[in-house]
Structure 1
């Protein structure tokens, strides 16, 4: 942090507080642009501590034809809003990773040509070339991690392709799930994949796989059963949220898959789907289609072979997944708020994350009369009310001191026992201080 001057350092302290979790994002070289931008709706949700649900964008650009893709995207977002959460569709627009899209941006993306499917390997090249990119499951998980959005809803995740033991054609989604702590709501994996090997690979990656509802059957996207049993089962959104909460408390660095079966009235006949997929796979092989182009080709072929019934099932399951994901996000936020209230130690925080009210009985040493989001990180004169942020309480006092090489936390309990905890920030620097 050598580029932060003694004048800038105390001003940075004003922006350390983020509810019960303290997060400071800083990059070497003050003034470096953020790797992503929030939509106004998501930014406001972050400021107010509302639950947020991440959504991928390849389902818009590569999963459905226009105008069904746009209509479905809008309907899915509205379902999430109606259930008390905020949708955050993720995409790269002209090289900018965007978390949350406006209606105009959704409309543009639904009709845009040449949009690149953006997995982990593609994010940097697309951004550097200022292209449009639609994030896959893997790409969206990365964005959700960057933005601290714990719940992500999609249709189906990728997996180990058939004959993957020879071709090594394995979706990057599985590795990303293994190194993130995101909960992904989906309808299992598509029948075009090797479902058994996919589950084995997820186990190797340490991913917790849970069937959702009354059955432990692992779904196969268009059908409610794949012939395989999920290792775990969660009966409802509240139980799923508890699993996510426990995983966060244990600081597990692997994700959770909540597999929701397609609604029964839209579930398709397994034999019909199997025949359509086998025929489409042979056609793809004959035409030399492989890699990331296989899935959209198969989906289009299956939709044609089933006279559009598979597309209706696709739309129904993503809407149903949105309901489940929003409910999980809301329940998880309740659990987080319960933790926040237990750990607040009467420091004068309002219930809304990141807020500080003028009539609070306690005040920070540095001024917090306005939200951090309402001002740039550093004002023109870089002045602020002090160089130490002090949070007081009846049982414990915490002093957070920003230093050149990190953050020093001094905690004093009512029995006068004092502990000093140094937290170092490594460039490029992201420090997260748990409550």
Structure 2
């Protein structure tokens, strides 16, 4: 009887607005449901092979799946990953002693759930790639005026920027033709890194035949590869059939703890102020005093370990230390958390939100799962008192008081957002004949 009263009270607290048409009465109005384009199975299947094939990396050793593997919720289970120059997968990944990386990847590998929804128009933690009708191809990217048309969506454009990153996929110095082109600044130009990668794919009979079937008569270009990768990501990791969705549609109610957590999320805890809508993101940028670790975002000639987030894109002081609001779909599967993976657990990052500045000052790097990397100094920013105070001063998230039981209920609600559906899975083999990452 007591449990029934608790569930009733939780649902009553959710009556923040009139329910959307067709939704259960007494539940929050989340606005229109996400819009997803109908997938083309043949294109998605070809994109799957490209996603798992190391042929797209400079040294033919890593693939998109190295840092975005379904085994780790489409991320890699690390605070900061090791791309080119690493061996192994996920938390077991370590530097290759024969070819170690220059540094860790500076930011946490973001999950790929629901990126095919039309509302996702900004990508990366700082939103440096986003839809912009005034730019070539309707997309603003770090390439600026060098950006070429031909990408079908911002998702397609962002999917291929890691191949230009020495730390992620391209490789370092002049150890391969792709990394050499990147070092020379030859990226989207004719004969640049993108063309070199496309040519690798085009000479493989297994890919040529599949491209002819999907894109008959068309040249295999970098843009075509990117568009197919986006088709696969959009098809493979659509996640909108969680217990939460079914409860919102009038189906089975959430269990008592998740129902209480949902009431907190859309009520007292204030989570939905930023984590709004059906996919629990406002797609905006917020400074919440997240601790900084690792190499930071700096040009090669700079010597700091800061990461000022959105300000690096806009140049506006008011955007300092602000990062994009992540969707919370399948968040229970994608630890660690934060733009640099500073927190290994959901409870840890929730408690940070309750007292951001206090948590920042008390944080220690032991909370971040980092593989060993000889020579890495990961706590430079965390040990800089002035930088810590600058991060704290920028935070706009007000402190809140929640009990341990309430934090546990929020975690239970986040579990109700799980829908880890995979459609194609990991392929047995890829046309290049290279080892399939994660197989």
The normalised TM-score by structure 1 is 0.25
Structure 1 or 2: more strand by fraction: 1
